[in-house]
Amino acid sequence: MIAFNDKFELRSDVQCSDKSLTHRAFIAAAIADSKSVIRNVTFSRDVLSTVEALRALGANIAIKGDCAVVTPVVSPPEGQVVLNCGNSGTTARLLAGVAAGLGVNAVFTGDESLSKRPMDRVVKPLRRLGADIFLRNDCLFECRGGALRGAEIISEVNSAQVKSAVLFAGLFAEGETVYSERCPTRDHTEILLRELGADIAVGQSVSVRKSRIRGFETVLPNDPSSAAYSVALALLTKREALFTDVLLNERRMGFYRALQRAGARIQFVNVRSVLGEKVGDVEVLPSELSPLTLSAAQAADAIDEIPLLAVISLFTAGTHTFEGVSELAFKESDRIEAILHMASVAKQRAEFCNGTLTVHSDGKPLAKRRFKTFGDHRVAMCEAVACIAAGGGCIDDAPFDVSHPNFLSSIGVCPLKLGLIGTHVAQSVSPRMQTYLAMQAGVCCSYVTVTLPENVSDGELLRVAQSFDGLNVTMPFKTRMAKLLKADVPAVNTIGKNIAATSTDGYGLTRPLEKHGVCFAKKPLWIVGAGGAAESCVCELLKYGCQLQVINRTEANAKRLRDKYSLPESVADPEGVLTFLPECAFEKQIVLPESCKFVFIAAYMGKSGVRLQAEERGLVVADGFEMNYFQGALGFSLWTGTAVQDDYEGYLKYVKEFDYV
């Protein structure tokens, strides 16, 4: 998760090369007649998927910094190759045409998200050209080459990716390949092929004949889709901004044109040509926006930015309509669902019917909201914009590197890196709790869980720990980390770059008891368990003059604590029983004495025999969920230098409202 506040700084010197052009430049270079040099490359995960797939097809690609030198394919691979396209639909669909043209036997695979996206839309037209390509249940599709011949293809879906696949295949096909669209889509491929000498003609339809394109050198322009998030922040916070060297292809201006029609003061200056494409600077001035509307034709030129326009709509009073956006359901996630979610979380209203998305907003979305990203990079960036513009909020995931690895740097946000390590932490509630603390304190930070094997080396354990600004440590590393860091406590659960390694278990125990009105100082108590958390609480309770008896299923461990802290073997008539064990046969056998007035149950997940007895007798019960909150609140305070937040009831309300992940 990442929690945002209202602090950011827009930067024109940190941008992202246009992803559409980057994919196409690498593909064109791989099938050109000579070496190519491509500069200003942003190596996002999607772009790297294309690079690795082209290498598998036989291209030699040398990378140094943001520059790549591409030596084209000379001899396509013999035998079957696997092309892992990761999350990139562009990689899969465009390279389908290249693999068919090269006559390669290639199996196309992808991640879970890509595997759900429709691929028959590219398979069908390539089969019309003679490609031996077909869908498979265990992968995206398989291509076995085939003798390609020109054909006339009429698009069944509005897709620049499908058009590009056909055009790349057409470079290898005998005769003329003609591609016609019902609704014009992005024309990057046509422009690039024409610029590089392909036998191509563009009119009402696009026609291409078998031809070899030439090698080239270029500096890629910046991505208008990536710049759009910075533009949106500038508009929503009424700041002036300038973003340089941005691709201004008319088929990519849908987002900007929609905003201009709504009153945004956006200008394009210093316009010039790069690889046949129009490039320039985008100037943004403070503006008052009216409701946004897009026809189906206009939406086609802004399809990737529709979710961002929807976010802007949430901050602009009125009714906003976006027609012809059904294609959003087939992106990296169902982005229609994501938009409806964003509106609902912001306490606004959105609906989708017959291809039209409608957003109704009072222009005042609530702050400090928790958004679900659906694992989608564009949804994540949209929600980050919403959080910052609203004055704070958080997102549950941050897959920015799929398309815009420089995203946070480009908006001048540098979150504190916080996290949790252990062997079984995937279902931990700590990320949710730390999110709440961060938003309440107005601190920008990320919090992730890291699962490590129990036998991880000391060196690796320390390396991981030192990569965080602040870290929670859980079983089985608490005592081990204390020894490695030479801590003053037997077991640590909180470490950080600017704090001494410590345990917040004691505070996590005593603060809930105090909130329940329990007087535990100088009282006789039973401690059930002898692990790191139990020992930390023994240390804390001794400071309060408590008389402690340790009970454990392994007597040797109980004796170790008795000897170490000079504890008696038995304590009569305890007023409280504090158990640090999960429910088990031993825990269920413990009988609460008549003298007991309260219990503390550290294991908050699952049942507890001790809790059941206490509830039947009407005793005060404090539990590990409360302990977890106060432990975390103290740790967060130590990491960030903020006051400890004593707002457990607010946290419970937050959990109830946002418990959807």
From its phi and psi, is residue 487 left (phi > 0), alpha (psi between -120 and 50) or beta? beta
What pLDDT sits at residue 659?
58
pLDDT score at 184: 87
Given this model, what pLDDT does residue 524 score? 97
Whether 300 is in a domain gets the answer yes
In a domain? residue 200: yes
> Which residue's entry shows tokens 């500038």?
234
CA distance 243 to 250: 17
Same structural domain, 403 and 377: yes
> Are both 193 and 237 inside the same structural domain?
no
pLDDT of residue 158: 86
Q: Is 382 a member of any domain?
A: yes
Q: In terms of domains, do 579 and 521 share one?
A: yes
pLDDT over 80 (residue 370): yes
Tell whether 651 is covered by a domain: no
Domain match, 8 and 24 both: no
| Average pLDDT of the residues in 432-452 | 95
Specify the range with the lowest mean pLDDT, choosing from 172-176, 499-503, 538-542, 601-605.
601-605
Residue 304 appears among annotated catalytic residues: yes
* Final residue in a domain of this structure, among 407, 422, 455: 407
Tokens of 126: 């390539």
Q: Has residue 427 been placed in a domain? A: no
In a shared domain, residues 201 and 280: no
Collapse the DSSP code of 178 into the 3-class scheme (helix H, G, I; strand E, B; otherwise coil) and give the result.
Answer: strand
Q: Which residue, 186, 219, 252, sits at the end of a domain?
A: 219
Residue 596 within any structural domain of the chain: yes
What distance lies between CA 151 and its chain's CA centroid?
42
pLDDT of residue 605: 63
Residue 661 has pLDDT above 50, yes or no: no
Asked if 559 and 576 sit in the same domain, the reply is: yes
Percentage of residues of the chain with pLDDT beyond 90: 90
* Count of domains forming the chain: 3
pLDDT at 183: 85
Could you tell me the pLDDT band of residue 606, with boundaries at 50, 70 and 90?
low
379-407 pLDDT, tens digit each: 999 999 999 999 999 999 999 999 999 99
- Residue 254 sits in the same domain as residue 400: yes
Percentage of the chain beyond pLDDT 70 is 99
Tokens of 381: 């960036």
- In this prediction, residues 318-339 reach a mean pLDDT of 96
DSSP string, 76-123: PPSSEEEEE-TT-HHHHHHHHHHHHHHT-EEEEE--HHHHTS--HHHH
How far is 629 from 642, CA to CA, in rounded Å?
16
pLDDT at res. 540:
92
Mean pLDDT value of segment 635-654:
95
Which of 219, 251, 267 marks a domain boundary?
219
Write the pLDDT tens digit of every residue in 444-453. 999 999 999 9
Same domain assignment for residues 301 and 246: yes
Which two tokens mark 351?
Answer: 């609906």
pLDDT at position 253 is: 96
Note the pLDDT of residue 660.
43
Closest CA to 240 of 267, 217, 213: 267
What is the distance between the alpha carbons of residues 594 and 613, in angstroms, rounded to a whole number? 11
The answer to whether 188 and 196 are in contact (CB under 8 A) is no
Rounded CA gap, 255 and 274, in Å?
21
Instruction: Please check whether residues 227 and 278 belong to one and the same domain.
Output: yes
Residue 437 lies in a domain: no
Whether the CB-CB separation of 50 and 7 falls below 8 Å is answered with no
Q: What is the mean pLDDT of residues 306-322?
A: 98
Is the residue at 77 inside a domain?
yes
Same domain, 284 and 402: yes
Same domain membership, residue 191 and residue 51: yes
- Cα angle for residues 406, 408, 412 (degrees, 5° grid): 110
Quick one: 285 and 402 in the same domain? yes
Q: Given 46, 187, 304, 505, which residue is catalytic?
A: 304
* Under 8 Å between Cβ of 452 and 462: no
Q: What is the CATH number of the domain that holds 102?
A: 3.65.10.10
State the residue range of the domain holding 335: 2-13+222-407
> For 94-148, how does the pLDDT look when each residue is reduced to its tens digit (9 = 90+)?
999 999 999 999 999 999 999 999 999 999 999 999 999 999 999 999 999 889 9
Given a contact cutoff of 8 angstroms between Cβ atoms, the answer to whether 399 and 450 are in contact is no
Helix ranges, 103-223 (H): 112-115, 120-128, 160-170, 188-195
Pairing of strands 369-371, 393-395: parallel
- The three-class DSSP label of residue 513 is helix
Classified as helix, coil or strand, 304 is: helix
Encoded tokens for 68: 């790549």
Q: Is the pLDDT of residue 337 over 70?
A: yes
CATH number of the domain bearing residue 612: 3.40.50.720
Q: How many other CB atoms are there within 10 angstroms of residue 457's CB atom? A: 9
H or E segment to which residue 649 belongs? helix 648-658
